Chains A and B, each alone.
Chain A
């Protein structure tokens, strides 16, 4: 089982590495978009699946960073690396403000507050002179990496996006398995107890929120560079809804499941793009079906199946040794 998984992972990695060399088979720009959205979805999963906080305004961080990276590279003439840093930093700052306000309430109120504040960000970008309003900010230069590698080539850009996405996912993985992550789990599972143990709960929640916002910002900045475009759709609540759907499809209670959801949602939108309103209609129906009968999501279901199999295997082993109490304990997990 483990060995097959490892082989599959290596094969998948090799395939992804090969993508820019076969543009006739897969369109590399499409895969770059997939990377950006997968990173965005996992950054969101860090907050929702791991932290248990549902934000309904994550487009503000994604789109805000996209615009700010555009401003930095196009108007200020900063190099690409600094443009990415500016985008991420602005998203983190925005996360500090929005998160700081939103974590004063919980649950659905948190969702409503983030949605409202993200809508405010949308209106600000709609009116700001540099965003080009309905046309979006166009011709954002890709520039070059460290002044050496020209990013105008799709091949170089592809490997940059892939590397940074992997880096982002690795950071998320590290956060989840850090002592900080354990405290977050404690807060998620039983907040009053975490408070009574002396943890500064609000500060931990805010840190997770800012982390999630910053990584969402990285995804948005990369997207702006790939397409040379930051548009109002990047800050619109539709995108906030899309990332929720990605999380729901992939597994709301998992951290990396949303990446699977991202692949599905981006694929759906890519192939149905010409149909206009139908995409929204279909997205809505998928949403409702998932909420009603597929709440665990794809990865959540897979994990459950694997656990059930493991529990059954353990139970068989125990039955062999004749201990009934242990068997009960195992199967109740």
Chain B
């Protein structure tokens, strides 16, 4: 059996895949966060809470309505996205033009309200969520076997990221979005409904988070706190990568997922802190982030 740095290759490869899976969640979340920030100039603290809503939504759909995983994967992001849109229309909208700190505080309040609410209703223990029938097997890659579901998560998350990238960079809607980000007043004068674009952007970003939440439901147990620890890591990733570039944030997220997983192999005590250490190093060496633009801070 071949070894790398004293570790058997299957262990390393297995951990790398695990890291990629986590990195995919980071990527989808940080992408949504960056899109929302670019457009609304608001740091959506509630991103993790919407991720949790995605997981819980899928669980509720399965438990109360009797739907299946695939239905949840489509329906739950739509519903959560709509809820996000309502939240933007009725609350976030009142804070435009104020110090962006208030947006952070408002969404932080939403995190507490949602987490507290779900804790009251469902307690703190995790709800098990079955892996869908079609993805239950393992895939033999010769040097290692990999659960099919993990492969599916990586594929689906990357597709979601690429889809978002394509939507923003290659479609007419994306062009309007970018225009509204750069020069909102000018864009409005061309007859484009900028306030509606803001709502759509928030709903879209939140729907991405919920999509990740559904994907994560069979891996992490669904519980009220599943989002908040994740969102702090995603904040660190956003600081590391900078919010300027879509592809940049995807690459950063995947890379950090792998780094975190490999740290677990070589020095497991540091695996929970390694991403924050990387953030500190990046702040020392490149204060604006790896892909950040000068003065974008």
* A interface list, Cβ under 8 A from B: 54, 56, 101, 104-109, 111-113, 115-117, 119-120, 123-124, 126-127, 237, 241, 244, 248, 276-288, 290-292, 295
B115 touches A287 (CB 8 A): no
Chain B residues near A279 (CB-CB < 8 A) = 116
30 contacts across the A-B interface (CB closer than 8 A): A101-B283, A105-B283, A107-B101, A107-B297, A108-B101, A111-B104, A113-B279, A115-B235, A116-B233, A116-B276, A119-B233, A123-B272, A126-B272, A241-B112, A277-B118, A277-B119, A277-B120, A279-B116, A280-B115, A281-B112, A281-B116, A281-B117, A282-B116, A283-B109, A284-B110, A284-B113, A286-B109, A287-B108, A291-B102, A295-B102
Is B94 in the interface zone, CB < 8 Å from A? Answer: yes
Give A279 to B116 CA distance when docked, in angstroms. 7
Q: Is the CB of A284 within 8 A of B112?
A: yes
Between B110, B279, B283, the greatest number of chain A beta carbons within 10 A of the residue's beta carbon is seen for B283
- Give Cα A241 to B105, complex, Å: 9
Shortest distance from the beta carbon of A261 to any chain B beta carbon, whole Å: 13
B265 at the interface (CB under 8 A from A): no
CA distance A43 to B114 in the complex (A): 29
Contact pattern, B 82-121, Cβ under 8 Å of A = 1, otherwise 0: 0000000001001100111110111011111111111110
What residues of B have a CB within 8 angstroms of the CB of A54 in the complex? 101
A246 to chain B, nearest CB (A): 12
Residue contact B277 to A116, C-beta cutoff 8 Å: no
- Chain B positions within 8 Å of A, measured between CB atoms, are 43, 91, 94-95, 98-102, 104-106, 108-120, 224, 228-229, 232-233, 235-236, 238-239, 269, 272-273, 276-277, 279-280, 283-284, 287-288, 297
- Report the separation of the CA atoms of residues A241 and B277 in the bound assembly, to the nearest whole angstrom: 22
- Complex Cα–Cα for A282 and B224 (A): 16
Lowest 5 A-B CB distances belong to which pairs? A287-B109, A280-B116, A284-B112, A284-B113, A281-B116
Query: What is the CA–CA distance of A248 and B110 in the complex, to the nearest angstrom?
Result: 15
Q: Which of A105, A109, A292 has the most CB of B within 10 A?
A: A109
Contact status A291-B95, CB under 8 Å = yes
Contact B108 A120 (CB under 8 A): no
Q: Give every chain A residue within 8 A of B273 (Cβ-Cβ).
A: 120, 123-124
Where chain A touches its partner, the secondary structure class is: helix
Residues of the A chain whose Cβ atoms lie less than 8 Å from the Cβ of B279: 113, 116-117
Known: A104-B287, A237-B232. A284 touches B239 (CB 8 A): no
Q: Is the CB of A288 within 8 A of B272?
A: no
Task: Point out the residues of chain A lying under 8 angstroms from B94, CB to CB.
Answer: 292
Which listed residue, A105, A119, A280, touches B112 by the CB 8 Å rule? A280
Q: Which residues from B are CB-within-8-Å of A126?
A: 272
Asked whether, in the complex, the Cβ of A280 is within 8 Å of the Cβ of B91, the reply is no
* Complex Cα spacing A282 to B106, Å: 14
Partner of A244, one of B108, B119, B232: B108
Contact B105 A113 (CB under 8 A): no
| Contact A113-B239, Cβ < 8 Å, known A106-B297, A120-B273 | yes
Quick check: A276 and B119 within 8 Å, CB to CB? yes
Q: Which residues of A contact B233 (CB under 8 A)?
A: 116, 119
Which residue, B99, B104, B109, B236, has most C-beta atoms of chain A within 10 A?
B109
With known contacts A288-B91, A288-B106, A108–B43 Cβ distance under 8 A? yes
